[in-house]
Structure 1
Amino acid sequence: MKQIVLIAGSSHTGKTALAQKVLERYGYPYLSIDHLKMGLIRSGYCPLTPESDDADLTAYLWPIVREIIKTAIENHQRLVVEGCYIPFDYRSSFESRYLEQIQFVCLCFSQAYLAEHFDVIQSYANVVEQRLDDSGCTKEQLQRENEENLRLCQQYSCPYILLEYPYHIDLDSL
């Protein structure tokens, strides 16, 4: 595994759970971009809200996250960064000396898995974190987000894990 691991994907794909598993198995600490987002919003340092458009949130958060990643690499620290706000063209944000230390993976549900196991997906929503309100998560929304993420992974040649039944991620494959 490289020094920095970026875990992207839509809501409910298991980004935080995977980051937690990497922490437990390999000792890599992780940064949840959602925590950074909420810290900036709640502190008043960010003009956006949790309901802001994902593109606006990414545009605001990514420059901060990018510099955290660079600092970790320069300090020879390991770090997992997980969240919805990692752009698929992340490579354009780094010089090659940084890219050599970064590993990216996007978690994408297959459309068949979403269609047949949405209730299972929802049952794991609180496996690591307790969501205050998950009522906005719909099967249709996840289908759109995962289809778009898979398209963007292919467009930008980003590695992805297509999640199907049974849901399983081999940590050794990262």
Structure 2
Amino acid sequence: MIVLITGASHTGKTVLAQKLLERYRFPYLSIDHLKMGLIRSGNTNLTPSGDAALTDYLWPIVREMIKTAIENAQNLIVEGVYIPFDWRNDFDDAYLKEIRYKCLILSESYIHHHFNQIKAYACAVEKRLDDSWCTKESVLAENKYYFEMCRKYGCDYTLIDGCYAVDFEL
């Protein structure tokens, strides 16, 4: 089984992937790690902040890794922002039956009431070297975009509105 976890920055994708790893013993791939490996090794001229271009560059690689894992009957959790909303178009039915997808979205109300906590938990699993770009306005805009795109493409999502309690049963 493949588990895809996406969502805006600071929604808890990596924390959820870590929880699933501990519960199910499925390895996980952070697309951010792949991104930084390719950038730091000089295999691309892209920069860490070019989200659309990075999705176009990284998704074909990740997509084929997912197919390979399915073909080998291996479990894998893939987490990151670089999963396109139309990801289903890249897999036929035989692959799709092996993939579970979840997009994490923070509601506007949650962001307004818990922004300090959102920032405080930014390094819960990975250490962020520079989080100064993350403002309440950027978090609001990014989560609004993810919500609109999930609705447009019919993607499964969890809207975090009250208390933060995200889980994923396989």
Q: State percent identity of aligned pairs.
A: 60
Matched AA of 1:105: K
Give the superposition deviation at 1:90: 0.1
Give the superposition deviation at 1:170: 3.0
CA deviation profile, 1:48-84 (whole Å, cap 9, x unmatched): 01122x1111000000000000000000000000000
Structure 1 CA distance for aligned equivalents of residues 142 and 49 of structure 2: 16
Matched AA of 2:7: G
Matched AA of 2:28: Y
Are 2:140 and 1:143 equivalent residues in the alignment? yes
SS of match in other structure, 1:140: helix
Alignment length, in residue pairs? Answer: 170
Q: Which residue of 1 aligns with 2:118?
A: 121
Matched AA of 2:135: T
Give the superposition deviation at 1:116: 1.2
SS of match in other structure, 2:47: coil
Structure 1 outlier segments of 4+, above 2 Å: none
Structure 1 CA distance for aligned equivalents of residues 66 and 105 of structure 2: 23
RMSD: 0.8
In structure 2, list runs of 5 or more residues that go unmatched.
Answer: none
CA deviation profile, 1:82-120 (whole Å, cap 9, x unmatched): 000000100011111111101110000000000111001
Structure 1 CA distance for aligned equivalents of residues 162 and 38 of structure 2: 37
Are 2:129 and 1:132 equivalent residues in the alignment? yes
CA deviation profile, 1:27-46 (whole Å, cap 9, x unmatched): 11100000000000000001
Structure 2 CA distance for aligned equivalents of residues 142 and 49 of structure 1: 21
Superposed counterparts of 1:5-16, under 5 Å? 5-16=3-14
In structure 1, list runs of 5 or more residues that go unmatched.
Answer: none
Q: Tell me, yes or no, if the aligned pair for 2:16 and 2:167 is still in contact at 8 Å.
A: no
Give the superposition deviation at 1:5: 0.4
Matched AA of 2:99: I
Superposed counterparts of 1:50-129, under 5 Å? 50-52=48-50, 54-129=51-126
Q: Which residue of 1 aligns with 2:29?
A: 31
| TM-score using structure 2 length | 0.98
CA deviation profile, 1:148-171 (whole Å, cap 9, x unmatched): 101111111110000123100133
| TM-score using structure 1 length | 0.96
